[in-house]
Amino acid sequence: MVPFIVEVFTIGTYLGVSGSIDSYIASTSGHETVDSSFGIEGRWGWGYVLGGSVTVKINEKIGIQAGALYYTGGSALDLSGTYRADGLATENGVPNYLQGSSLDFTGLEIILGVTYDM
C-alpha cells in the first residue's frame, strides 16, 4: 500500500493588484500611447481560497503532490490622478468608465510538485 497525505486548506483572504491601466485606457479610447499617474486609495478587499492537495509518498522523504485552489473575491478600486495620451501636454482625469470600478480576484491554481522532507 502506498502512503498518502490529504490536505484541505482553510478559508483565508488574499489581496493583489496586477495589470496595466495605461494599456486598457489606450485600447478603449483609441490612443496609441498613454502615460498615467494614477493613485489607488487604500481599500480592503474580501476573498476566499478553497481547495486542497494530495501527496503520495514514494518513500520516507520524497512525495508527489497534486491539488487545486480556487480564489474568489473583490475590492473597490478608487482611482485618482491624471493621464496623458499620445505624448500631448493635455492632462486628462480618470475616465468616466473607470470610476466606480472594482477588482476581481477570481482564479484557479493547479498544484503539481515534488515534496522532500528533511
pLDDT recorded at residue 19: 37
pLDDT recorded at residue 89: 79
pLDDT recorded at residue 65: 92
Q: Could you list the pLDDT tens digit for every one of the 118 residues in the chain? A: 445 455 554 444 444 333 377 888 888 888 888 888 877 776 778 888 888 899 999 998 999 999 998 988 888 878 888 888 887 878 888 888 888 888 788 889 999 999 888 8
Query: Do residues 26 and 32 touch, judged by C-beta distance below 8 A?
Result: yes
pLDDT recorded at residue 113: 92
**pTM, full prediction:** 0.54
Exposed, middle or buried by CB within 10 Å (0-12, 13-18, 19+), for 30?
A: exposed
The upper half-sphere exposure of residue 82, i.e. CA atoms within 13 Å in the direction of its Cβ, equals 6
Q: Which residues contact 80 (CB under 8 A, 6 or more apart)?
A: 38, 39, 41, 94
The upper half-sphere exposure of residue 16, i.e. CA atoms within 13 Å in the direction of its Cβ, equals 12
pLDDT recorded at residue 3: 52
Cα–Cα nearest to 29, from 86, 76, 78: 86
pLDDT recorded at residue 1: 40
Per-domain residue ranges of the chain? 4-116
pLDDT recorded at residue 14: 41
